[in-house]
Structure 1
Amino acid sequence: MAEKVIYKDDISIELKKPKMYKVILLNDDYTTMDFVVEVLMIVFHKSATDATQIMLDVHQKGKGVVGTYTYDIASTKIAQVEQMASERGFPLAAVMEPE
């Protein structure tokens, strides 16, 4: 949806909402469930209850949607997940998909 803004000199600018992306955590056979919950709480600011539910989705369904963000925020959060996982020796991966 675009929003039209008209300035006093009859100049108009059309503003568009940014495209949004879903951040998805992917299951693997090595990353511990506790670490996934920790990542969800630290990087995505999820409550312990929400983080546990998302972790169970990742474990049982192979992936779990963590949230929806603009491109820059989504890519930053994915980089944070990968850095935390790398520091702990886990192969946890996250991807983003357009909404």
Structure 2
Amino acid sequence: MEKSDTNSGQKTKVCEKIKEQVSTPPLFKVLMHNDDYTTMEFVIEVLREVFRKPADEAEKIMLTIHFQGVGCCGTFPFAIAETKAGRARLKARKAGFPLRCTLEEA
């Protein structure tokens, strides 16, 4: 945009700054589902290794999964949630368990 300076007759340029809004990425819950084959010990192992939960918290989440059918392993941005769920599924398949992890928008 150009404006004329009324005192000197010269044209000057005015720069307008546009603020960019940076938003935080949407978060997703990683949910682990109960099944009749995956052992409680293995679920705790996955919670500790993949989701970095302390032993007491991993046990509480495992019991929630066991008694309520599903438990939240953590809340992360999509790419991290997808990676952690994939690592948990891969570890379960290698051990011969049908463990199921899904994502849900938080």
Show structure 2 runs of 5+ residues with no match. Answer: 1-14
Show the counterpart of 2:30: 23
Bigger radius of gyration among the two: 2
How far does residue 9 in structure 1 lie from its aligned partner after superposition? Answer: 6.3
5+ unaligned residues in a row in structure 1: which ranges? 1-7
- Structure 1 residue 97: Cα displacement: 0.3
Whichever residue aligns with residue 20 of structure 1, its letter is: L
Query: Could you say what the CA RMSD is over the residues aligned between the two structures, in angstroms?
Result: 1.2
| Letter of the structure 1 residue corresponding to residue 22 of structure 2 | L
AA aligned to 2:32 is: L
More strand by share: 1
Of 19, 35, 39, the match for 1:32: 39
Aligned residues: 92
2:75 to 57, 60, 68: 68
Report how far residue 10 of structure 1 moved: 1.4
- Structure 2 residue matching 1:52: 3-state secondary structure: helix
Deviations 1:41-64 (A, max 9, x none): 000000000000000000000000
The percent identity for this pair of structures is 42
